[in-house]
Amino acid sequence: MTPAERPLSPHLQIYKPQLTSVLSITHRGTGLALGVGAIFLVWWLSGAAWSDACFRAAQAFWSSWLGKLFLLGWTFSLFFHLLNGVRHLLWDVGFGFDLPTTYRTGWTVVAFSVLLTVLAFGSGLYAGGSP
Amino acid sequence: MTGRAAVRHWRAQRVSALALIFLVLWLVVSLLMHLGADRAQVQAWLGAPVSAVLAAALVVVAFFHLGLGIRVVLEDYVHTPWRLAAGLVANRVTCWALALIALAAVATLAFGW
């Protein structure tokens, strides 16, 4: 069956970006990024369990410049997805779904995601190690 | 996905999210406490009963949650029926495979296999 050529409603790029829509797509993006991060964690975990070479390769990756950049991205993704996920759970039980509160909790999520990322990543760099 | 299946999916996504709040915070704190750990130290950490149980729970719940999330993304953006079907199967197989590998690794560390 070929889909009929129906008229389409105005699509995403027509609208001006708003905090609500931007955070919504960021929730998706960070979720997908964490999925990729999970693959790397399984690689590292497998190394710890079965293979010295595999474990050392994973450690070398985290210690590298590129690895640290990925870690920074995953740290932010994790805190954002976690905090915005709690925001979603609160909506689900009926809290904060009016527009002013939605904006307030949205900016709170952004601020605390950045703060926690700086704290966690900074303390990691300060300790000078690689997880 | 419609009807009862959709309701189940919706609820499962949220229940797993609740569990992940605690499991993920445990992971972050633990990783920060094991910065620069060598393989023996990681083995000692994940070989301990409490951390092995928490790690196993995290693996199961996280890949379950990830599979549910990717399914929604696929259903939203893939509109060719056969591509969607293939994507859903690939998603399921990949999540199961990664979870099983990770569980086997945790079991290896916990039981010293």
Contact B32/A124, CB-based, under 8 Å? yes
CB neighbours of B58 closer than 8 A, spacing ≥ 6?
A: B20, B23, B24, B26, B27
Q: Between B43, B69, B79, which is nearest A48 by CB?
A: B43
Cβ burial, residue B42 (10 Å; 0-12/13-18/19+): buried
Tokens of B44: 């000692």
pLDDT of amino acid A1: 60
Q: In angstroms, what separates the C-alpha of A16 from chain B's closest C-alpha?
A: 21
Q: In angstroms, what separates the C-alpha of A127 from chain B's closest C-alpha?
A: 7
Give average pLDDT by consecutive 10-residue segment, chain B, 113 residues: 88 96 96 91 95 98 98 96 98 98 97 84
Helices (H), strands (E): how many in chain A? Answer: 4, 0
Partner B contacted by A67 (CB < 8 A): no
CB neighbours of A30 closer than 8 A, spacing ≥ 6?
A: A76, A77, A78, A80, A81, A84
In this prediction the pTM is 0.91
pLDDT of amino acid A129: 54
Rounded CA gap, A20 and A102, in Å?
8
| A10-35 pLDDT, tens digit each | 776 777 889 999 999 999 999 999 99
Widest pairwise Cα distance in chain B: 50
Contact A35/B66, CB-based, under 8 Å? yes
pLDDT of amino acid A37: 97
Distances (CA, A) of A113 to A66, A91, A107, B78: 22, 19, 10, 30
pLDDT of amino acid A80: 98
Partner B contacted by A50 (CB < 8 A): yes
Q: In angstroms, what separates the C-alpha of B113 from chain A's closest C-alpha?
A: 9
ipTM score: 0.93
| A77-93 pLDDT, tens digit each | 999 999 999 999 999 99
Partner A contacted by B5 (CB < 8 A): no
Average confidence score pLDDT of chain A: 91
| A92-122 pLDDT, tens digit each | 999 999 999 999 999 999 999 999 999 999 8
